[in-house]
Amino acid sequence: MQSIMFWSCEYGICMIKILPFGVTLICGILLGVGAYHVCVDHQLKKLQNGRSGFTEEDSLKNKVWHGDVDAYTKLHGRYRDYPPEDFLFWAMFMANKYDYAYAYEDVFTTMQEVYADADSAIFKMDGKTRTFALGYLKMAVQKGDSDAANLLSDLKRKHVPDEWLK
């Protein structure tokens, strides 16, 4: 089987050559891989020169990815303008990967904020979601987060059943 391939000469003039299909396929793959590497190299150079399209928020996310607590706090503040579920990943990430006490509380409060009325959200959650959210709140308390301890006390005052808090 033969196929047509465009072949460029050194003076920029294109010639049409008829090559076997296998050679055309291999040349196409090599050209594709080469073009990909050129694009990646270009993006890396832009990053190194500071002329990238990355925002300050992207920079904060990168720092949070590496465990920067100050960047996490700033990112948390920025996400106040977004739906709460947009921040949930970052709270869970900092809690799970870096064992950051305040992030455990953030997981709980973010899950509560998803519901329209955060004060009664715990009563609106299904059992598995409630157990999950309360688990993060309890972890925050165990790690010494006093705000989380206050939240847990508030839940007890709201007559949350004891079996939910075990």
At residue 70, the pLDDT reads 95
At residue 113, the pLDDT reads 86
Cα–Cα dist 144/157, whole Å:
20
**Longest CA span, the chain:** 82
Cα–Cα dist 126/145, whole Å:
26
At residue 100, the pLDDT reads 94
| Exposed e or buried b per residue across 8-35, where buried means at least 16 C-beta atoms within 10 angstroms of its C-beta | eeeeeeeeeeeeeeeebeeeeeeeeeee
* pLDDT tens over the chain, length 166 residues: 554 544 444 444 444 455 555 555 565 565 554 455 555 555 555 555 555 567 888 888 889 999 999 999 999 998 887 888 888 999 999 999 999 999 999 999 988 888 766 667 888 888 898 889 899 999 999 999 999 989 888 887 776 776 676 7
Q: Which long-range contacts (CB under 8 A, 24 or more apart) does 35-43 make?
A: none
At residue 14, the pLDDT reads 46
At residue 68, the pLDDT reads 93
**Spans of all domains in the chain:** 2-48, 56-165
At residue 157, the pLDDT reads 77
